A and B are shown apart, each in its own frame.
Chain A
Amino acid sequence: MKKRSGELKVLVIEDNPGDFILIEDYLSEEHNALELQRAETFKSAKSLLKVPSNFDTILLDLSLPDINDTEILVKEILALSYGAPVIVLTGYTNKEYGVKTLSWGVSDYLLKDEISASNLSKSIHYSMERKKVQRQLYESEEKYRTLFDFSPLPMWVLDRHSLEFLSVNQAAIELYGYSREEFMEMTVRDLWAEDPDRIEKTVEENFHDFFTVKVKHHTKSGQGIYIDVQSNPIQFGGRQARVTLAHNITERLKAEERLKHSQQRFKALVQDGSDLISILDENFNYIYVSPSAKNILGVNPERIEGRNVFDFIHREDRERIENKIQYLGKKKAYQLPSYRYRDGNGGWRWLETIISDLRDDPAVNGLVANSRDITKFKVQEKQLRESLERYDIVAKATSDLISDYNIKNDVFQYSNAIYDTFGYTKDKIETSKQWWQDKIHPDDKERVIEASRGIHERGQKLLNIEYRFKCANGNYKYILDRSYVITDANDQPSRIIGSMQDITERRKYINAIERSNERLREIAWTQYHVVRAPLARIMGLIELLKNQRNNLDNIEEIIDNILNSSEELDKVIRKIANKTEEEF
Chain B
Amino acid sequence: MLEVIIVDDDQIVVFIQKKMITNFEIASHPISFNLAQAALEHIIKDRQSDLEKDYLILLDINMPHMDGWDFLDCLESHEKKSNYHVIMVTSSIDRKDKEKAKKYSTVRYFIEKPISAQDCEKIKEISEISHFFERV
Contacts and interface: CB of A to CB of B under 8 A. Distances in A.
Given A533-B10, A536-B113, A547 B92 contact: no
B116 A537 contact: no
A561 B13 CA distance: 10
Contact of B20 (A544, A557, A565): A544
A528 interface: yes
Interface in B107-122: 112-117
B91 A541 contact: no
Given A529-B62, A544-B20, A537 B13 contact: yes
Interface residues of B, number: 18
Contacts of B112: 536
Contacts of A547: 20, 23, 117
A554 B114 contact: no
Contacts of B10: 533, 537
Interface string A535-564: 011011101100110000010010001001
Kindly name the residue among B23, B113, B114 whose own CB sees the greatest number of chain A CB atoms within 10 A.
Answer: B114
A537 B92 contact: no
Interface in B1-36: 10, 12-13, 15-17, 19-20, 23
B81 to A, nearest CB: 29
Contact of A548 (B19, B62, B114): B19
Contacts of A536: 13, 91, 112-114
B113 to A, nearest CB: 4
B117 A537 contact: no
The DSSP consensus for interface residues of chain A is: helix
A529 B113 CA distance: 11
A564 B12 contact: yes
Interface in A475-532: 528-529, 532
Given A529-B62, A532-B92, A544 B12 contact: no
Given A548-B19, A554-B19, A543 B91 contact: no
Contacts of A532: 91-92, 113
Contacts of A528: 92
Contact of B116 (A543, A557, A561, A564): A543
A543 B120 CA distance: 12
A561 B91 contact: no
A543 B12 contact: no
B98 to A, nearest CB: 16
13 contacts: A533-B113, A536-B91, A536-B112, A537-B13, A537-B16, A540-B20, A541-B12, A541-B16, A543-B116, A544-B19, A547-B20, A557-B15, A564-B12
